[in-house]
Amino acid sequence: MKLILTTHNLTLTQAIENHILSRIDKLEHFDRFAINARVTLDHDSTKAVNRQFKCSMRLAVPGPDLFAEDSEGDMYAAIDLVTKKIEQQIRKRQSKHKARKHTVASRTKRSRQEAEI
């Protein structure tokens, strides 16, 4: 998966980059068809102390892209929460896909049973 990392008013340290890479690897485990991830980190000192750091993530997958954004007082917490939101979106998407397959299969089975009767 390709990673595009952008920062605004923030110095990117190796620790932050490693943390993001570990979270992206976790997301890649959930959805192996992900094409790329675009992460934007922002520091806004004019906002409240508990909302100064903002992280947004766009995950390009086949179909509509997944997007999440969060503001926190700690950059690592913002990254973790955004990753959690993207994980939930991936799980929801996969559950819908499985449910759709199951619904089609049950309809086919039911129509076959009705045809036999």
- Specify the CATH number for the domain of residue 68: 3.30.160.100
Expressed as residue numbers, the domain containing 84 is 2-88
The answer to whether position 44 is within a domain reads yes
With beta carbons less than 8 A apart as the criterion, state whether 39 and 55 touch.
yes
The answer to whether position 29 is within a domain reads yes
- Which has more confidence, 97 or 43? 43
Q: What percentage of the chain exceeds 70 in pLDDT?
A: 99
Q: How far apart are CA 102 and CA 83, in angstroms?
A: 29
With beta carbons less than 8 A apart as the criterion, state whether 83 and 102 touch.
no
| pLDDT recorded at residue 66 | 95
| pLDDT recorded at residue 59 | 94
| pLDDT recorded at residue 77 | 95
Residue 57 has pLDDT above 80, yes or no: yes
Where on the phi/psi map is residue 9: left (φ > 0), alpha (ψ -120 to 50), or beta? left
The answer to whether position 79 is within a domain reads yes
The answer to whether position 84 is within a domain reads yes
Mean pLDDT of the chain: 90
Q: Give pLDDT tens digits for 80-94.
A: 999 999 999 999 998
Q: How far apart are CA 37 and CA 2, in angstroms?
A: 6
The answer to whether position 49 is within a domain reads yes
Q: Give pLDDT tens digits for 98-117.
A: 888 777 777 777 788 788 77
The answer to whether position 109 is within a domain reads no
Reported confidence tier of residue 20, pLDDT bands at 50, 70, 90: very high
Q: Is the pTM of this model over 0.95?
A: no
The answer to whether position 96 is within a domain reads no
Domains contained in the chain, number: 1
The answer to whether position 23 is within a domain reads yes
